[in-house]
Amino acid sequence: MRDILHLRAPGNWINDPNGFIYYQGKYHLFYQYFPYAPMWGTMHWGHAVSQDLVHWEHLGVALFPTKEYDRNGVFSGSALEKDGRMYLYYSAVRYLETDPEDIHRAVGDRYETSQAMVVSEDGFRFDNWGCKRQIIPVIRDESMAHAAHTRDPKVWQEDGWYYMALGSTAEEKAGRVLFYRSRDAENWEYAAQCRHRKFGRIVECPDLFRLGQTDVFLASMMYIGEAGKGYEHLPVCGIGAFDRRTCELTLSGEFQYVDYGMDLYAPQTNLDRDGRRVMIAWMRMPRAVEEEGRVWNGIMCLPRVVEVQDSHVFFRVHPEAEGYFSREVRHDGQLPEGPCRIHGILEEGRELDIGGYLIRMEQGCVKTDRSRVFGETKGVAAVCSTPEVPGQCRLDIYVEPNLIEVFINEGRYVISNVVYGLGKGLTGKVEHVWQGGR
């Protein structure tokens, strides 16, 4: 099975991207996968590959529960290459008591989490029985971490050391990030932790990398959104300084949202073939889609290059995805068939209508309204907004039947929204429209 531009669930359910890596000439993207229903359940790792971050081929299940410590789920993690082999790191979940009426749920949401790894010789074959290894047991010292909510190992290598960041919490009241390090990528020692007043109650999917002389921190924070006004768990990013000797992270300035559409979650980054820092994330969907004989729930955003300019983190469409839209078409008041890219300039008080999805500028902020193409969905916001946009507002809008991504001023801000039932009309100030051509 193949997907173009956006990796979708091959059927049933996907969520977080995992193990995103450019390895031996191909991009590998693993993802949280429940293969039995279009809903969250016991986690596996699905696997897809691409030559260009645009055309994706699904390869089926890579990792699945086989051990006592991961019997209730192979949860999120990352990948690196060492000595020509692919190392996968993941969070392993074991329920303390399983719901007798639904084995995919824990009674009282009580479970424990450890960290584990698998080594693959070629990035395509994964021995789920013989090659798994638990590398960080369940942490039961509450002063250090939380036995259940310590997860999502992000592993990277720098200057002869391997580093690991883990999301965690202090008593489910204050989020924190743990740092480990290793000389061989297999045996790990605790190094330090970071707390911050804006970490929410639990940190998930931490990511840390250097761009030039700047360290950028990304993570998904739980319970930072307004209850009842949309998702409570949201990804943020900020800049700071990470001391590689002590593993102490100091964050400066304010956080910004990774995406102002609020559907995006669990971003993960790695380097592309040309050394650019590229991000992919999961787009949360409140209900499944029935399409061509399959039911699916979950889609990944377009790959985005992460850059820092004037202490602000930009998320720009990756050149491979941008280049896919190579054929310009006439704007005749109708959306073209299939994926399209729309370019325009938005002025104060003006509005762009894309098949019922509205983009307008109010008091210097870009606002989107998907009310007419979303349906009645409780707990998920229909109207989204950026902060005030400095200067002229240039839009690059990528449109698919279930996802619209609005890039403002070359990625200064992004609004990505899941939609259902787009119409065909296109009105407003549109300068160019492109369709896919490769």
Beta pairing, strands 294-297 & 12-23: parallel
- Classify residue 43 by its DSSP letter: B
167 φ/ψ angles, rounded to the nearest 5 degrees:
-80, 145
Which burial class, exposed, middle or buried, applies to 431 when counting CB atoms under 10 A from its CB (0-12, 13-18, 19+)?
A: exposed
Give the burial string for 69-94 (b: 16+ CB within 10 Å, else e). Answer: bbebbbbbbbbbeeeeebbbbbbbbb
Q: For the whole model, what pTM was predicted?
A: 0.96
What does the pLDDT look like over 69-89, one tens digit per residue? 999 999 999 999 999 999 999
59 φ/ψ angles, rounded to the nearest 5 degrees:
-115, 5
pLDDT higher than 80, residue 379 = no
The mean pLDDT value for 278-293 works out to 94
Question: Taking a C-beta distance cutoff of 8 angstroms, is the pair 35, 295 a contact?
Answer: no
- What gap in Å lies between CA 175 and CA 120, rounded to an integer? 33
Active site residue 243: no
- What gap in Å lies between CA 31 and CA 49, rounded to an integer? 11
The mean pLDDT value for 142-170 works out to 97
What does the pLDDT look like over 204-254, one tens digit per residue? 999 999 999 999 999 999 999 887 678 999 999 999 999 999 999 999 888
> Considering only CA atoms, which of 328, 316, 345 is closest in space to residue 407?
316
- What gap in Å lies between CA 418 and CA 25, rounded to an integer? 32
- What gap in Å lies between CA 325 and CA 245, rounded to an integer? 45
> Considering only CA atoms, which of 347, 293, 298 is closest in space to residue 17?
298
Q: What is the largest CA-CA distance in the chain?
A: 64
What are the Cα distances from residue 50, in Å, to 4, 24, 145?
10, 12, 37
pLDDT at res. 438? 62
Per the prediction, the chain carries an average pLDDT of: 95
> Considering only CA atoms, which of 184, 149, 145, 144 is closest in space to residue 163?
184
Q: What percent of the chain has pLDDT over 70?
A: 100
- What gap in Å lies between CA 109 and CA 96, rounded to an integer? 9
- What gap in Å lies between CA 311 and CA 115, rounded to an integer? 34
Question: Taking a C-beta distance cutoff of 8 angstroms, is the pair 397, 354 a contact?
Answer: yes
pLDDT higher than 90, residue 331 = no
Question: In angstroms, how far is CA 313 from the centroid of its own chain?
Answer: 16
The mean pLDDT value for 261-290 works out to 97
β-sheet bridge partners, residue 163:
156, 181
Residue 153 structure tokens = 């190992």
Q: How many CB atoms lie within 10 A of CB 117?
A: 22
Alpha-helical segments (H) within 118-243: none
The mean pLDDT value for 373-385 works out to 87
What does the pLDDT look like over 6-65, one tens digit per residue? 999 999 999 999 999 999 999 999 999 999 999 999 999 999 999 999 999 999 999 999
CA gyration radius, the chain: 21
- What gap in Å lies between CA 278 and CA 20, rounded to an integer? 10
Candidates 3, 16, 207, 259; catalytic one: 16
> Considering only CA atoms, which of 42, 62, 76, 2 is closest in space to residue 282?
76
pLDDT higher than 90, residue 365 = yes
> Considering only CA atoms, which of 215, 308, 218 is closest in space to residue 265?
218
- What gap in Å lies between CA 339 and CA 335, rounded to an integer? 9
Low-confidence winner among 371-375, 394-398, 415-419 (lowest mean pLDDT): 371-375
pLDDT higher than 70, residue 185 = yes
Between 203 and 380, the more confident residue is: 203
Q: How many CB atoms lie within 10 A of CB 39?
A: 11
- Match 């045996």 to its residue by tokens: 187
| Residue 333 pLDDT grade (very low, low, confident, very high; cuts 50, 70, 90) | confident
For residue 277, the surrounding DSSP H or E stretch is strand 277-283
What are the Cα distances from residue 128, in Å, to 20, 378, 379, 424?
19, 39, 38, 47
Question: Taking a C-beta distance cutoff of 8 angstroms, is the pair 267, 279 a contact?
Answer: yes
Question: Taking a C-beta distance cutoff of 8 angstroms, is the pair 94, 110 a contact?
Answer: no
pLDDT at res. 275? 97
